[in-house]
């Protein structure tokens, strides 16, 4: 055991993945969020988490050495020695989670190659694995998705008002589905920012680390640009950093030969972003109504599309469940 910090790099409690799954396939959402079935391939999920942990520790160490120090999770640090080294962190993570030991050599090899070709961070690192909470409501007579002040992040969702990032008041717009457990509670979206950097012109960028077996630059950039989670990142970044917000960037890391790292920026999608809050409001209401209409969860609507059920990464992990029903879950 050690007193040094292990940075966890997991999902947000009310992150985009739950809403994204619902849009992809309501039945998949029900399997994941309601029946709590683990449908993500264990190896892929574990390797991705291990890669994130190593990236988080390396960039936290770089950030703590910098002139501004670094925010990790919700705490500020300016001593790099408080963090485990990336190699020690990955061993500690595997021990704590009782998983991933068989992937250590591969992921460490990938990380060393990454560091050899990228010995410096892509700017001054100011935040790592930083939690952001946003809520639907009205501020300055404008309705939308608003970033909540850090000290209010775990606020009671039954409250009518909460403080925004800029110190102003947000009047929350609660869920309106009588009979549902979340009725009359604020609609919240949480995100974890993998990394935030600033450049010499004080432009601030939000980064997302992606470990891929094969980096396909054009496809990745376009795909992530229209992803709802990235719309949330852009909305949050603009509110947190104003005119200094430079946008989103990807840290794409290929995990097999030919080894490759790419750091493209993600193009904006202003039309999508402008409709994001309304889309989130509708999605949360649709999910809540389905909770009441289909309490067994097996009767939730299914995608019914070959491009969703068998996509670019192969067949959906829930395909057998949808084909054969509850007996396939045993």
* Burial of residue 233 (number of CB atoms within 10 Å: 0-12, 13-18, 19+): buried
Q: What is the pLDDT of residue 305?
A: 82
List CB contacts of 99: < 8 A, sequence separation 6 or more: 42, 46
326 against 31, higher pLDDT: 31
Output the average pLDDT for the chain.
Answer: 92
* Token pair recorded at residue 323: 């084909």
- Each residue of 141-183: pLDDT tens digit? 999 999 999 999 999 999 999 999 999 999 999 999 999 999 9
- Each residue of 63-75: pLDDT tens digit? 999 999 999 999 9
Does the pLDDT at position 330 exceed 60? Answer: no
What is the C-alpha to C-alpha distance for residues 85 and 91, in angstroms, rounded to an integer? 10
Residue 41's pLDDT band (cuts 50, 70, 90): low
In this structure, the number of other CB atoms found within 10 A of the CB of residue 214 comes to 11
* Token pair recorded at residue 165: 């990032």
- Whether the pTM exceeds 0.85: the reply is yes
Q: What is the pLDDT of residue 185?
A: 98
CA-closest candidate to residue 166, choices 182, 141, 142, 147: 147
- Each residue of 102-131: pLDDT tens digit? 999 999 999 999 999 999 999 999 999 999
């Amino acid at each position: 055991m050690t007193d040094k910090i292990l940075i966890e790099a997991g999902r947000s409690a009310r992150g985009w993945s739950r809403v994204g799954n619902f849009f992809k396939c309501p039945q998949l959402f029900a399997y994941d969020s309601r029946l709590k079935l683990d449908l993500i391939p264990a190896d892929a999920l574990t390797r991705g988490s291990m890669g994130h942990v190593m990236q988080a520790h390396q960039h936290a160490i770089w950030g703590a050495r910098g002139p501004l120090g670094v925010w990790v999770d919700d705490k500020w640090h300016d001593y790099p020695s408080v963090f485990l080294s990336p190699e020690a962190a990955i061993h500690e993570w595997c021990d704590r989670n009782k998983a991933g030991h068989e992937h250590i050599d591969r992921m460490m090899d990938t990380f060393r190659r990454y560091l050899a070709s990228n010995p410096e961070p892509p700017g001054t690192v100011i935040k790592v694995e930083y939690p952001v909470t946003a809520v639907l409501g009205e501020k300055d007579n404008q309705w939308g998705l608003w970033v909540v002040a850090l000290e209010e992040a775990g606020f009671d969702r039954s409250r009518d008002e909460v403080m925004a990032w800029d110190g102003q008041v947000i009047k929350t717009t609660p869920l309106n589905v009588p009979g549902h457990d979340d009725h009359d509670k604020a609609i919240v979206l949480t995100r974890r920012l993998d990394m935030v950097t600033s450049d010499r012109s004080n432009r601030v960028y939000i980064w997302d680390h992606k470990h891929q077996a094969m980096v396909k630059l054009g496809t990745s950039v376009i795909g992530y640009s229209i992803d709802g989670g990235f719309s949330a990142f852009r909305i949050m970044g603009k509110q947190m950093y104003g005119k200094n917000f430079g946008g989103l960037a990807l840290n794409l890391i290929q995990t097999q030969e030919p080894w490759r790292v790419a750091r493209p920026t993600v193009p904006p999608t202003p039309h999508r972003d402008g409709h994001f809050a309304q889309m989130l409001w509708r999605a949360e209401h649709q999910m809540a109504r389905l909770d009441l209409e289909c309490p067994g969860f097996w009767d939730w609507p299914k995608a019914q599309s070959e491009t969703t059920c068998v996509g670019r990464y192969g067949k959906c992990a829930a395909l057998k469940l949808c084909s054969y029903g509850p007996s396939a879950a045993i």
